[in-house]
């Protein structure tokens, strides 16, 4: 049985709607969540709730016990997925995540994830996030490449989670965005929440949203695109993609937030988590890691430079 513990938003919402908001990364449908409620799998502040319309107040604790056999023992370990481990010690490791792979299993994808590859490697993993997310401290989108920290034990996991919460882990991304950005530097301060028109997407909205701040610096300008270096001061779902779409410079090749007239390729959005800097939570050693650009990303930059010379 997999157990998920969540904290409610700063607003009162009915239980099923709230869980759709909170469980974005699990790919759970509203009907599936309602099924869990009916089967007495969900409690709020230690009280089992069986009514979808139950209003959850701010600062409530929600516990979900999922009975689904989502993790088939025959599917858990996937040795066919290559793990590019660029740093490892007794307490944590850092992976250079490839394109087109999700971080952890969901109802729609139970065996082709980074977690399945980690389990196949037999590396020790923290257990705080349950069976579905062993070792996973933070996420990177399926089509985003780059650096991902994994905790090997619960003590390290807790400390890393606090460091992320307190913005003590420096993360830097490289992105190719559409259009030419004129200012050399910028700050995007716009709240992000679930889209009111498409529940699978996030958007800048005042309703049920959280503060989101992204800073960026232009690295290179091309004929119709811009290479930017960006840092997120908050960790909202799809934050960089949503924010650049908000300022009318969506990430190039973004199938979800990109401009409809773009010619999309299978590579996905040109967004790469290329730098990490943090103090090791156990040894207190200063760690700085840089991930080289994927070949497709590097080739695209060369292609865009060629357009500048045409």
Residues 182-195: pLDDT tens digits? 999 999 999 998 88
Task: Report CA-CA distances (Å) from 183 to 44, 95, 172, 218, 225.
Answer: 48, 33, 19, 8, 14
Q: For the chain, where do the domains classified as CATH 3.30.2350.10 start and end?
A: 85-166, 172-272+300-309
Task: Report CA-CA distances (Å) from 102 to 8, 115, 148, 248.
Answer: 25, 9, 12, 27
| CATH number belonging to domain 172-272+300-309 | 3.30.2350.10
Distance CA 301, CA 298 (A): 5
Q: Are strands 13-14 and 225-232 parallel, antiparallel or unpaired?
A: unpaired
Distance CA 259, CA 78 (A): 35
Q: In 3-state terms, what secondary structure has residue 215? A: strand
Asked if 43 and 49 touch (Cβ cutoff 8 Å), the reply is yes
Give the pLDDT confidence score for residue 206 in this predicted structure: 77
Cβ neighbors of 222 (< 8 A, separation 6 or more) are 180, 304, 305, 307, 308
Q: pLDDT tier at 64 (50, 70, 90 boundaries)?
A: confident
**Token pair for residue 277?**
């800097």
Is the per-residue pLDDT at 32 higher than 90?
no
Q: pLDDT tier at 75 (50, 70, 90 boundaries)?
A: very low
Q: For the chain, where do the domains classified as CATH 3.10.290.10 start and end?
A: 2-66
Distance CA 208, CA 248 (A): 23
Give the pLDDT confidence score for residue 261 in this predicted structure: 60
Is the per-residue pLDDT at 67 higher than 70?
no
Is the per-residue pLDDT at 74 higher than 60?
no
Q: Which residues are catalytic?
A: 141
Give the pLDDT confidence score for residue 2 in this predicted structure: 60
Give the pLDDT confidence score for residue 58 in this predicted structure: 87
Give the pLDDT confidence score for residue 26 in this predicted structure: 63
Q: In residues, how long is the chain?
A: 310
Give the pLDDT confidence score for residue 71 in this predicted structure: 45
What is the per-residue pLDDT across 255-282, written as a single tens digit (0 to 9) for each? Answer: 899 876 666 777 889 999 999 999 999 9
Give the pLDDT confidence score for residue 154 in this predicted structure: 94
To the question of domain 85-166 being in CATH 3.40.30.10, the answer is: no
Least confident of 14-28, 49-63, 219-233: 14-28
Q: In 3-state terms, what secondary structure has residue 24? A: helix
CATH class of 2-66: alpha beta
Q: In 3-state terms, what secondary structure has residue 277? A: strand
């Amino acid at each position: 049985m997999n157990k998920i513990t969540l904290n409610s938003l700063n607003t009162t919402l009915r239980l099923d709607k709230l869980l759709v908001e909170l469980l974005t990364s699990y790919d759970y449908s509203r009907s599936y969540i309602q099924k869990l409620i009916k089967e007495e799998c969900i409690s709020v502040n230690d009280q089992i709730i069986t009514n979808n319309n139950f209003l959850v107040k701010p600062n409530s604790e929600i516990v979900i016990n999922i009975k689904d056999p989502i993790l088939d023992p025959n599917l858990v370990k996937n040795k066919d997925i290559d793990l590019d481990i660029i740093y490892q010690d007794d307490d944590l490791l850092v992976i250079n995540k490839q394109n087109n792979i999700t971080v952890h299993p969901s109802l729609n994808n139970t065996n082709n994830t980074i977690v399945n590859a980690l389990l196949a490697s037999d590396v020790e993993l923290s257990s705080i996030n349950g069976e579905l997310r062993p070792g996973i401290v933070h996420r990177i989108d399926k089509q985003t490449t780059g650096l991902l920290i994994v905790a090997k034990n619960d003590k390290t996991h807790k400390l890393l989670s606090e460091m992320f919460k307190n913005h003590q882990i420096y993360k830097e991304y490289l992105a190719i965005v559409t259009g030419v950005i004129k200012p050399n530097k910028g700050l995007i301060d716009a709240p992000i929440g679930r889209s009111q028109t498409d529940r699978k997407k996030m958007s800048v909205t005042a309703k049920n949203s959280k503060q989101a701040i992204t800073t960026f610096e232009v690295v290179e300008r091309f004929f119709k695109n811009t290479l930017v270096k960006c840092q997120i001061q908050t960790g909202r779902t799809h934050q960089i993609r949503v924010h650049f779409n908000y300022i009318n410079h969506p990430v190039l090749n973004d199938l979800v937030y990109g401009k409809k007239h773009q010619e999309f390729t299978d590579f996905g959005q040109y967004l790469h988590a290329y730098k990490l800097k943090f103090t090791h939570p156990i040894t207190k050693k200063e760690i700085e890691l840089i991930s080289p650009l994927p070949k497709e990303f590097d080739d695209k930059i060369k292609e865009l430079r060629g357009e500048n010379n045409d």
